[in-house]
A = this chain, B = another copy of it.
Amino acid sequence: MDSSGKQPVVVPENLRALYAPVAQELQETEELLRRELSSDHPFVDQLVKHGFRLGGKRLRPALVLLSGLACGGLRPEHRTLAAMVELIHTATLIHDDVLDEATVRRHLDTINARWDNETSILLGDYLFAKAMCLAGSLEDPFAIRLISQTTQRVCKGELRQVEGRGDFGLTEDCYFDIIGGKTAALTSCCCEVGAYYAGASPETCRRLADYGRDLGIAFQIADDVLDLTGNETVVGKSLGTDLAKQKATLPLIRLLDAVDDPQRQQLVAILSRSDNHRQEALRPWFERYQAISYARQKAGRFSQQAVEQLSTLSATVALDSLRGLTDFVIARQQ
């Protein structure tokens, strides 16, 4: 498996169309990331180049750039910010893969699978530090302040998720609270910094932050559904890890709410099994109680809410892409 980082990051066709208005800036962001993610020490260089390709879709840099373009136009800071959010995203992915004991991501070995957990922890830390260096290089400290607060919220969400493992009494509210931190905080930050450094009004910055949050929530619900229903070859990452880690996500929370006590006990028995057939065992339950479609509907509602946040922006190609992304996140198969 090539980890030289030379091979270009593959962005799905449908996404590339949405990224078109900022294609040039995304390319410059890739170059910036490539420069940032090289090291004079061979081992570190090999690691960062591998890490560079784990991020994949580049959704977060695109959110920074599209938000900036939709809110008044791009400045040089936007490329730095785009690279910064991708570094933070990649750092969290690398640490997540340790948490989830995942072995494949974007059709590549995860760092913990190819090297070990220790390397993953340190590489994640290294990329966090790199991201902070980029943020610190900007004149206006708004970015470094928002991004460090955001990173805190992400970690807090993840910590609460770890705490919630094996808790099959987790409520929908807790679930939304957790994903609001671990996923939506960063997508919200991407859109807010994009708008802010484009010189948008505080009101517009707030609306973009809300757009990013709702988009992130829709994205995460879809991601959790994929983890239960997706095909590893298509999705290109380890799946079923939520069940394996007894992480209650929306479909499961819905299902457990819908059943009666004896059925609930049957379900908990299935969930507590250590074999790898939980997924098949649960499939008929999900269908019978339409728990998957319930989760998809919820994702649809957040995606709709995200679109509404954009209502005050004047018509641009960037705005069309931001709208288009709200469909993409709930329709995606990878």
Residue ranges of A at the interface with B (Cβ–Cβ < 8 Å): 39, 41, 43-44, 47, 92, 95, 98-99, 116-119, 121-126, 128-130, 132-133, 135-137, 141, 144-145, 147-149, 151-152, 154-156, 158-160, 162-163
B41, B116, B123, B155: the one contacting A122 at CB < 8 Å is B155
CA distance A244 to B113 in the complex (A): 22
B98, B128, B129, B156: the one contacting A39 at CB < 8 Å is B156
Measured CB to CB, the nearest residue on chain B to A116 is: B162
CA distance A124 to B39 in the complex (A): 24
Q: Which B residues are in CB contact (< 8 Å) with A47?
A: 159
CA distance A124 to B159 in the complex (A): 11
Q: Are B141 and A129 in contact (CB under 8 A)?
A: no
A167 to chain B minimum Cβ distance, whole angstroms, is: 11
Q: Which B residues are in CB contact (< 8 Å) with A98?
A: 117-118, 121
Q: Are A148 and B162 in contact (CB under 8 A)?
A: no
Q: Which B residues are in CB contact (< 8 Å) with A123?
A: 155, 159
A177 to chain B minimum Cβ distance, whole angstroms, is: 9
CA distance A145 to B128 in the complex (A): 13
A174 to chain B minimum Cβ distance, whole angstroms, is: 11
Measured CB to CB, the nearest residue on chain B to A46 is: B163
Q: Are B156 and A130 in contact (CB under 8 A)?
A: no
Q: Are B122 and A95 in contact (CB under 8 A)?
A: yes
Given A126-B152, A136-B148: 15 more A-B contacts, CB < 8 Å: A43-B160, A95-B121, A95-B122, A98-B118, A118-B162, A119-B159, A122-B158, A122-B159, A122-B162, A124-B125, A125-B151, A126-B159, A129-B151, A130-B152, A132-B132
